[in-house]
A and B are shown apart, each in its own frame.
Chain A
């Protein structure tokens, strides 16, 4: 028990002294992870579209060559950035750019470098996830869209990607959480995020374990909140399980012309009610609706008391 008391004492001392540093670090980590994940997903979606452009024998030669080159580049990008450690990519790009341009080009802002590296890394992983997401969408959806004359791009934007996106949200969540944690390797180019402050603080006072405990709790808090938010997003995208039947005639308002409210289907056409009956019916429905509203209002005011 003594040890726990000591730990709690140490943690509270660290927290009191370096609260702002820890919180600032968390903020940087979150900002970098969110921005890089969003950009990464966009890169992934773009690669997904390119990878699934249909290309047959009937297409002109230049289009086929161009598409082949672009696909090769996408493929190379995915393999390179998925197949090397991010910490190494950071060093490679951050120091490589000034090296090759004789110092004329360099990253003036550490944020730019960090976002670039984490985004292209996420993009490489997402490209494959998106491809999987697109494949998982029923091919009938593509045919349905083509059959009403949509181009490949329109089909992708309006029909396939929204569904693929829904299917890959768990993957996006994975990547987001990995990014929250793995941005810690950005200390190698001097980016000060959450973990970097652990290094600075422990460098001053050698309280490795208490500081690590704070970091553990901090990272866990961020990732748990992130996965909760992503679950919520899934729920929102799935929409309601219920739907409202619309029995009023929508065309009356849309077209400004009167159509019979009961003339719904070709099946009940043969017993078209007379005009008077229809008008009566509409009035009755209106009364019923108003009565229903009045009742609902009464109930809600009663509830307030």
Chain B
């Protein structure tokens, strides 16, 4: 398929003798919003970190536009600049203002001019509703505000895929909404996203593809109506039942 962006093939990852991911296979096409769900410790975050090469996969392939990025001699920084990442703990640069946070990558990695970087940064900060805070330092912002800045920082790099690693898990309940609204907005604009999340409502309403992981393997995947509405496997049903109770 021409519009396939990421193809993950037989991906495995071990930390020592502990096998965290086993034979993971799935594909992300342009415009897909893939929600990766599963219990804590099922390997969801590790999978996402492997996709961004923050962890080196033990075996398997990650094809980005058909090219394997896991081998030797791959320019990892260059690849990462096409694949944005939003972290659970925000990871905004503490030594820079909000605006600088969104500009530094564009200027240093993409070699854009200062004016151009500033304009792009402001556009995305406006989109996430953080434009008034451009002079603030990360430590002066609330969790939800930090996460929205982090999303703007990732967007400012013009990525083809955006990875979200539990973007709302570190937030107070009343701040979850503002971040999810931004993500929903992005999805509606056709951004390709890969989201590790515990927000079942987001998975159900926004995603186009749901991947349920259990103990390091993909247990079930498909459209949300199938996986969430009519799960085939007992593990999936148990997992979802636990969520309904809460």
Contact = CB atoms under 8 A, between A and B. Distances in A.
Contacts of A141: 91, 93-94
A249 B95 CA distance: 25
A149 B178 CA distance: 27
B81 A149 contact: yes
A247 B131 CA distance: 8
Contact of A250 (B90, B134, B154): B134
A266 to B, nearest CB: 4
A144 B135 contact: no
A226 interface: no
A106 B52 CA distance: 54
Given A243-B137, A246-B135, A266-B182, A154 B109 contact: yes
Contacts of A150: 77, 105, 108-109
A281 to B, nearest CB: 15
Contacts of A255: 119
Interface string B175-208: 0001001100100000000000000000000000
Interface string A133-148: 0000010110111111
B42 interface: no
Contacts of B4: none
A239 interface: yes
A265 interface: yes
B128 A159 contact: no
B72 interface: yes
A214 B80 CA distance: 61
Interface size class of B (residues with CB under 8 A): 35 or more
Contacts of A251: 119, 122-123, 126
Nearest to B177: A267
A146 B115 contact: no
A265 B148 CA distance: 11
Interface string B121-154: 0110011110111111100100000000010011
Nearest to A147: B85
A19 interface: no
Q: Bin the interface of chain A by size.
A: 35 or more
A147 B84 CA distance: 6
Contact of A246 (B87, B90, B134): B134
B127 to A, nearest CB: 7
A244 B98 CA distance: 12
A203 interface: no
B77 A149 contact: yes
A56 interface: yes
Interface of B: 52, 54, 56, 72-73, 77-82, 84-85, 87, 89-95, 97, 104-105, 108-109, 115, 118-119, 122-123, 126-129, 131-137, 140, 150, 153-154, 157, 178, 181-182, 185
Interface of A: 56-60, 138, 140-141, 143-151, 154, 158-159, 162-163, 166, 239, 241, 243-247, 249-251, 254-255, 259, 263-267
Closest 7 CB pairs of A and B: A149-B81, A265-B129, A144-B91, A148-B105, A147-B85, A140-B91, A266-B185
